[in-house]
Amino acid sequence: MKRSLANWLDSGAPWVWINAGAATLCLAMVFGLLLLLGVKGLGHFWPQPVLQATYTGAEPPASIIGEVAASETIDADDLYPATPGEEQGEIERQLLKLGNRDITGGDFAWVLTGLLEDVSYPPELAVIERREWGNLYGYLNGLRQAGAAVLPVGAQDGTGEARWNELHSRLDRARDLRREIERIERSIIADINFGMERLRLEERQLVLAGGDSAGALRENARQRESFDAQYAEIRLRLLELNRQIQRDTALFRIADGSTVEIPIADIVRAHRPNGMDWVESTRVYFARLIEFLSGNPREANTEGGLLPALYGTAMMVMLMSVIVTPLGVVAGVYLSEYAPRGWLTRIIRVSVNNLAGVPSIVYGMFGLGFFIYLAGGEIDRLFYAESLPAPTFGTPGLLWASLTLALLTLPVVIVATEEGLGNVPASLREASLALGATQFETLWRVVLPLARPSMLTGLILAVARAAGEVAPLMLVGVVKLAPSLPLDTQFPYLHPEQQFMHLGYHVFDLATQSPNVEAAMPQAFATAFLLVAVVTALNLSAVVLRGRLRERYRAMDTGAWA
């Protein structure tokens, strides 16, 4: 027996088992993480049933309506004072999302499951997602148009289905009006603002330059008048649209029996989850998911979408790649191919490797001090003197964030490039040189093409790191809520000086900075899941790209090669 154990140890099998075990553990952790984020994040969009019950724990017993957000079992001693010698056992309690924050003050409450009585799930109970104040739970009680009650056309009973359908047709109308308002605000008014700002800056430039500028100023004043006239006209149109959109209101009977009236324009989505089959549930699920991916955040980021964060993250990573790739590759090529092998090169190489270990917040400090205050401030003084004291580049923004992250990821690209160049067999270099190629021709035609896949791997790693980085970004350009996207239809289209939103920071903000923690939680999970998905997608696309390059390289071998 002893002999066979020794044999087993000698065979090397234990090592294989240990290695396989470690690999399995890693995989389990990765998939476990993805599963947790996926279930918690993506499950949040599925419509949950809404219960109505009488809560006898309150004095007097209250009628409540809400969704179960969480449930747990706690020690009864935590709730009631313990009596010596008496075992109280455990108690189950549930976290209910009660909504109606504007009426009741809080929208979440813990209730003891045992004290809920007459629990029912009435199919006509409605969930109203609103632009403000979170969800409203209640029964649709009536509709009003300009203060007068509306009886739906063709309704036999004047209640129920017909009223619900009428609500939806009025919701559609409000949505169309809102789209029109947003279009006007985003394009026409933005154009006017942009033009007015340009005029103001031109005037300041003229004043700063001195000299005779009366003619130019007159021309500016004329343009300003035309802008003012345009604006007055648009304002009237907006007022009219706003009046129209406020026309309809809906009445809801809520849990305590009272009736509330809310403008239909404030409703994002209305559905009755208890009465929905899975087709309808799926429809609501995807509508919410699409809003999450393509909409703007609402309610201090706890509701709505995160398109700006997604967009900002992608823009920053792209800008960073454009900066870091040439810089890193050129530096790597120099260090590996041309730098004389001496102590100075060794010191540089060690420094580059150590840069990869510098805490990222230090890069953030450097970016703030060097890029923003020094470089940005200087740019403002030289090129944007007319808009001072308001800074243009001397303030955190997309460009500085990208530059800071480019610096942060530079070592990764340099090291990968050097590694790739070092892996090219010396025999191939010698072959090329022996044919009369210069060192540069050898580098360009033989060595670099072979090192390309490993350079791309370096870029992949850099991108993955940058997309997930948060700490330095907080100093150099990321904000909780950005008013506009860094790339839009306003000249000059790309706004590298603007602040932007970022998925990683969004997660931080939701998880720790939200005023309504319970409401923010699912959104935080969903955002974290999206962040992981984005990083994975970026990596995958880079892997695919690398595979393509390899293929093209192979194809290039068989065709003309220039």
Q: How many CB atoms neighbour CB 390 within 10 A?
A: 9
Query: Which of these ranges, 9-17, 257-265, 439-447, 518-526, lies near other proteins under the rule CB under 8 A?
Result: 439-447
Which of 42, 192, 216, 437 is close enough to bind other proteins by CB under 8 A?
437
Cα→Cα distances 517→67, 106, 302, 514, Å: 16, 12, 9, 6
Dist. CA 519–CA 74, nearest whole Å: 22
Largest separation between any pair of C-alpha atoms in the chain: 106
Tell me: does residue 156 bind other proteins (CB under 8 A). Answer: no
Query: Which of these ranges, 126-134, 288-296, 317-325, 434-442, lies near other proteins under the rule CB under 8 A?
Result: 434-442
Q: What angle do CA 472, 477, 471 make, to 5 degrees?
A: 20
Which of 25, 290, 428, 540 is close enough to bind other proteins by CB under 8 A?
428
Q: Which of residues 339-368 bind other proteins (CB under 8 A)?
A: 341
Contact 470, 508 (CB under 8 A): yes
Cα→Cα distances 2→8, 14, 40, 135, 267, Å: 10, 16, 50, 69, 76
Query: Which of these ranges, 73-81, 301-309, 427-435, 485-493, lies near other proteins under the rule CB under 8 A?
Result: 427-435
Q: DSSP letter string over 416-435?
A: HHHHHHHTS-HHHHHHHHHT
Smaller CB distance to other proteins: residue 148 or 562? 562
Q: How many CB atoms neighbour CB 306 within 10 A?
A: 28
Residue 242, phi then psi, degrees to nearest 5: -65, -35
Tell me: does residue 232 bind other proteins (CB under 8 A). Answer: no
Which residues are paired to 68 by β-bridges? 96
Which of 435, 494, 537, 545 is close enough to bind other proteins by CB under 8 A?
435
Q: Which of residues 522-561 bind other proteins (CB under 8 A)?
A: 554, 556-559, 561
Least separation, in Å, of the C-beta of 550 and other proteins? Answer: 11
Tell me: does residue 183 bind other proteins (CB under 8 A). Answer: no
Q: What phi-psi label fits residue 140: left (phi over 0), alpha (psi between -120 and 50 degrees) or beta?
A: beta
Contact 476, 469 (CB under 8 A): no
Q: Which of residues 510-529 bind other proteins (CB under 8 A)?
A: none
Tell me: does residue 300 bind other proteins (CB under 8 A). Answer: no
Number of residues counted as binding other proteins (CB under 8 A): 24
Which of 180, 441, 488, 518 is close enough to bind other proteins by CB under 8 A?
441
Smaller CB distance to other proteins: residue 128 or 335? 335
Tell me: does residue 336 bind other proteins (CB under 8 A). Answer: no
Least separation, in Å, of the C-beta of 211 and other proteins? Answer: 58
Smaller CB distance to other proteins: residue 210 or 559? 559
Residue keyed to tokens 């709505």 = 304
Tell me: does residue 425 bind other proteins (CB under 8 A). Answer: yes
Q: Which of residues 449-478 bind other proteins (CB under 8 A)?
A: 450
Which of 4, 343, 427, 483 is close enough to bind other proteins by CB under 8 A?
427
Smaller CB distance to other proteins: residue 408 or 446? 446
SS3 annotation, 28-79: HHHHHHHHHHHHHHHHHHCCCCCEEEEECCCCCCEEEEEEEEEEEEEEHHHC
DSSP, res 114: G
Least separation, in Å, of the C-beta of 557 and other proteins? Answer: 4
Which of 432, 499, 523, 527 is close enough to bind other proteins by CB under 8 A?
432
Dist. CA 64–CA 467, nearest whole Å: 44
Smaller CB distance to other proteins: residue 323 or 335? 335
CA dihedral 204, 209, 212, 215 (to 10 degrees): -40
Least separation, in Å, of the C-beta of 549 and other proteins? Answer: 14
Contact footprint for other proteins (CB under 8 A): 341, 425, 427-428, 430-438, 441, 445-446, 450, 554, 556-559, 561-562
